[in-house]
Amino acid sequence: MFTKTITYAAALALCTSSAFAGGLANEIVEAPVMEAEMAPAATSSVNPTYIVVGILAALLIAAAANDDEDNDPLPS
């Protein structure tokens, strides 16, 4: 019984020492990955408000041009 305990203890000591065989090395610190800065997107020189107002004006003009209503009074 005593020899089995010594054998197990020796095997355990061998396993634990081989786990730390390389010792404790310094932590590897890698430089953070920097994304390439992108150039700002080319923007239009026209204010988007003018585009929306222009589209609304075009829709109002189109609605007025398609008006089928006659301005003549109904015959009595």
Residue among 60, 64, 41 at smallest CA distance from 52: 60
Higher-confidence position of 37 and 56: 56
Quick check: pTM over 0.75? no
Per-residue CA distances from 20 to 6, 9, 16, 27, 29 (Å):
21, 17, 7, 15, 21
**Which residue reads 């890698």 in tokens?**
30
Per-residue pLDDT at 8: 81
Query: pLDDT tier at 53 (50, 70, 90 boundaries)?
Result: very high
Q: Is the dihedral of CA 53, 58, 60, 61 positive or negative?
A: positive
**11-50: per-residue pLDDT in tens?**
777 766 555 556 666 777 888 877 777 666 677 688 888 9
